[in-house]
């Protein structure tokens, strides 16, 4: 798709077709805005962009999502977009599995079942386990009522109505967990979900942990039939159905600034695309320093951006096997640790070793991911991007991951039918994220909502979406970030107004 010599003009240009960008583009298009989406890759999805190798289909990074049951936010958002028929969510029988030295556990979903499963292992900690999980529930419920755009004028009221959120806004998981659960191993098991957020409990934001835990534990996480590419395709389909346009395989080289506001983008081939609103789903530092230029931003915003720290990257092993994994029956997602002390696991990451691992077996819930009689396996570990000579270390790291995988699934190494891997450099090259970050900024208290970058930037006309902005990391949260950016772009007065505009559909264009 080419525009010729004249500059094209749209209401909204979206940079990056990850889930956050697609969510923003879909909502804007559905509300009647003309939308143009540009992405450097060959199709939509970002970290949700699946790939095929022969008969095998793999999700590179997204393995579950949350709040996807009828009546929950993601499900109802897709319904409002008219995209619900294009994606099928599959319920998972369990929440997750945990493997620690000498210890294995299958964790059920359901708040009471989650509490009881841990209390059965540590009976003396029952009261503390129940108290901390109930606190997580209360914090999560408060967070659902708190606008991410709370102004200073509304702060007193927000503190009054959400006292636990504000009390714990700078707390880590360990800060809170230590008050209730005295057994160190019980704490380690309760917080085993932390690789989903990339930061161990000693540094992980407690409010963010509450959101991650409670959004999935109540009714369980969900998987998309065909992989999460189907979710990306569903959102992209909304944009196309409303007349929106995509250009893949093309980079944005500059965000155009005119009269002190964002006015469009320039593509790598020199094409000028004008727009009233630019939404960037790209790396926030790249957006501000390379595409905008620090000279167009307030000095305090530039300083704040420079203080933020990106998350760890990952090393990902992709495998297929003829081993009967249904007989071994691992959980859809299992968190794997070589140490009970999660800080030791993170120290290993910092030393260029594996730590904070998770195993996904998508073909157990969706057999179509592999041929009959075979299974696909994705085994990931958090990893540092600046490890010297990743190219030389790839084979060595791959062998180490295979050895650990064999201990999890005995017999798998002798039954492999496919093997490949991605290093942090692969992720950096593919997404453009600085340091191959898989969660945007680190999910520490001082880099999480409400201290993460807001979707509204100091530059009028420029909005952010994705895991670099509020509410944070995770497939549902980046979709929510796109919803928030779209609400600003279309001028929605509140949540009800936003949903109403989507339900009206493409005929609502002013």
pLDDT for the residue 504: 77
Q: What span, in angstroms and rounded, lies between the C-alpha atoms of 325 and 327?
A: 5
pLDDT in tens, 49-62: 999 999 999 998 99
- Does residue 402 surpass a pLDDT of 90? yes
Q: Is residue 88 part of a domain?
A: no
Q: Is residue 54 part of a domain?
A: no
Q: Is residue 60 part of a domain?
A: no
Q: What span, in angstroms and rounded, lies between the C-alpha atoms of 416 and 397?
A: 17
Mark whether 454 and 368 lie in a shared domain.
Answer: no
pLDDT in tens, 74-95: 999 999 999 999 999 999 999 9
Mark whether 125 and 269 lie in a shared domain.
Answer: no
Of 108, 153, 114, 105, give the one whose Cα is nearest residue 136: 114
Mark whether 337 and 397 lie in a shared domain.
Answer: yes
CATH number of the CATH domain containing 40: 3.50.50.60
Kindly report the pTM of this predicted structure: 0.94
Q: In this structure, what token pair is assigned to residue 191?
A: 């917080």
* SS3 assignment, position 340: coil
Q: Is residue 260 part of a domain?
A: yes
pLDDT for the residue 159: 64
| Vertex 473: Cα angle to 469 and 475 (nearest 5) | 115
DSSP symbols for 138-174: HHHHHHHHS-TT--GGGHHHHHHH-HHHHHTTT-BHH
Q: Do residues 403 and 412 make contact, with C-beta atoms less than 8 angstroms apart? A: no
Q: Do residues 73 and 23 make contact, with C-beta atoms less than 8 angstroms apart? A: no
What is the crossing angle of helices 73-81 and 19-30, to 10°? 50
Mark whether 316 and 403 lie in a shared domain.
Answer: yes
- Does residue 190 surpass a pLDDT of 70? yes
Residue range(s) defining the domain that contains residue 479: 8-48+226-309+442-508
pLDDT for the residue 156: 57
Longest dimension (CA), the chain: 74
Mark whether 193 and 337 lie in a shared domain.
Answer: no
Mark whether 327 and 427 lie in a shared domain.
Answer: yes
DSSP 312: P
Mark whether 196 and 295 lie in a shared domain.
Answer: no
Mark whether 243 and 206 lie in a shared domain.
Answer: no
42-56, 112-126, 469-483, 494-508: segment of lowest average pLDDT: 494-508
Q: What span, in angstroms and rounded, lies between the C-alpha atoms of 340 and 102?
A: 10
Q: Is residue 71 part of a domain?
A: no
Mean pLDDT of 271-294: 97
- Of 401, 431, 461, the last residue of a domain is 431
Mean pLDDT of 154-177: 82
Mark whether 321 and 423 lie in a shared domain.
Answer: yes
Of 191, 273, 228, give the one whose Cα is nearest residue 8: 273
Mean pLDDT of 230-247: 97
26-30, 269-273, 494-498: segment of lowest average pLDDT: 494-498
Q: Is residue 86 part of a domain?
A: no
Mark whether 318 and 424 lie in a shared domain.
Answer: yes
- Of 220, 242, 259, the last residue of a domain is 220
Mark whether 131 and 175 lie in a shared domain.
Answer: yes
Per-residue confidence at 222, pLDDT binned at 50, 70, 90? very high
Mark whether 353 and 337 lie in a shared domain.
Answer: yes
Q: Is residue 1 part of a domain?
A: no
Mean pLDDT of 230-234: 97
Q: Is residue 89 part of a domain?
A: no
- Does residue 152 surpass a pLDDT of 70? no
- Of 220, 241, 269, the last residue of a domain is 220
- Give the position of tokens 């009967």: 324
Q: How many domains does the chain have?
A: 3
pLDDT in tens, 355-381: 999 999 999 999 999 999 999 999 999
Segments in 51-125 forming alpha helices (H): 73-81, 111-121
């Amino acid at each position: 798709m080419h525009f010729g010599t004249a500059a094209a003009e749209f209401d909204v240009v979206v940079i990056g077709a990850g889930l956050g960008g697609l969510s923003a583009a879909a909502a804007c298009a559905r509300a009647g805005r003309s939308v143009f989406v540009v992405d450097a890759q060959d199709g939509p999805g970002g970290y949700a962009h699946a790939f095929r190798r022969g008969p095998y289909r793999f999700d590179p990074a997204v393995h579950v999502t949350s709040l996807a049951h009828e009546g929950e936010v993601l499900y109802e958002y897709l319904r409002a977009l008219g995209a619900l028929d294009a994606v099928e969510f599959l319920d998972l029988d369990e929440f997750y599995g945990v493997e620690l030295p000498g210890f294995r556990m299958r964790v059920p979903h359901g708040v009471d079942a989650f509490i009881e499963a841990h209390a059965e292992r540590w009976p003396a900690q029952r009261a503390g386990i129940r108290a901390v999980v109930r606190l997580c529930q209360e914090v999560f419920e408060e967070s659902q009522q708190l606008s991410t755009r709370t102004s200073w004028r509304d702060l007193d009221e927000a503190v009054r109505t959400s006292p636990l959120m504000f009390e714990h806004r700078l707390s880590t998981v360990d800060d809170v967990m230590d008050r209730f659960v005295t057994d160190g191993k019980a704490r380690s098991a309760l917080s085993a979900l932390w690789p989903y957020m990339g930061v161990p409990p000693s540094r992980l934001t407690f409010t963010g942990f509450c959101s991650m835990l409670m959004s999935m534990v109540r009714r369980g996480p969900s998987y998309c039939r065909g992989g999460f590419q189907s979710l990306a395709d569903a959102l992209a389909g909304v944009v196309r159905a409303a007349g929106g346009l995509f250009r893949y395989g093309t980079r944005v080289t500059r965000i155009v600034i005119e009269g002190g506001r964002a006015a469009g983008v320039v593509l790598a081939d020199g094409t000028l695309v004008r727009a009233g609103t630019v939404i960037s789903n790209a790396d926030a530092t790249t957006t501000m320093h390379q595409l905008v230029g620090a000279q167009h931003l307030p000095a305090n915003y530039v300083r704040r951006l420079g203080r933020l720290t990106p998350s760890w990257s990952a090393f990902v092993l992709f495998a297929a096997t003829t081993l009967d994994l249904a007989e071994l029956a691992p959980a859809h997602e299992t968190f794997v640790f070589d140490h009970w002390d999660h800080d030791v696991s993170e120290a290993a990451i910092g030393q260029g070793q594996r730590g904070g691992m998770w195993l996904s077996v998508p073909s157990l819930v969706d057999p179509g991911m592999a041929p009959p009689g075979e299974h696909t396996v994705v085994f990931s570990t958090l990893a540092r991007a600046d490890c010297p000579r990743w190219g030389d270390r790839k084979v060595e790291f791959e062998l180490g991951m295979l050895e650990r995988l064999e201990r999890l699934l005995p017999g798998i190494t002798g039954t492999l039918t496919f093997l490949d891997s991605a290093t942090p450099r692969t992720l950096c090259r593919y997404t453009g994220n600085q340091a191959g970050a898989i969660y945007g900024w680190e999910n520490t208290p001082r880099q999480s909502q409400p201290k993460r970058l807001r979707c509204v930037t100091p530059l009028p006309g420029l909005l952010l979406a994705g895991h670099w902005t509020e509410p944070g990391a995770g497939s549902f949260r980046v979709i929510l970030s796109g919803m928030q950016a779209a609400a600003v772009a279309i001028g929605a007065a509140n949540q009800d107004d936003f949903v109403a505009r989507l339900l009206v559909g493409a005929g609502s264009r002013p």
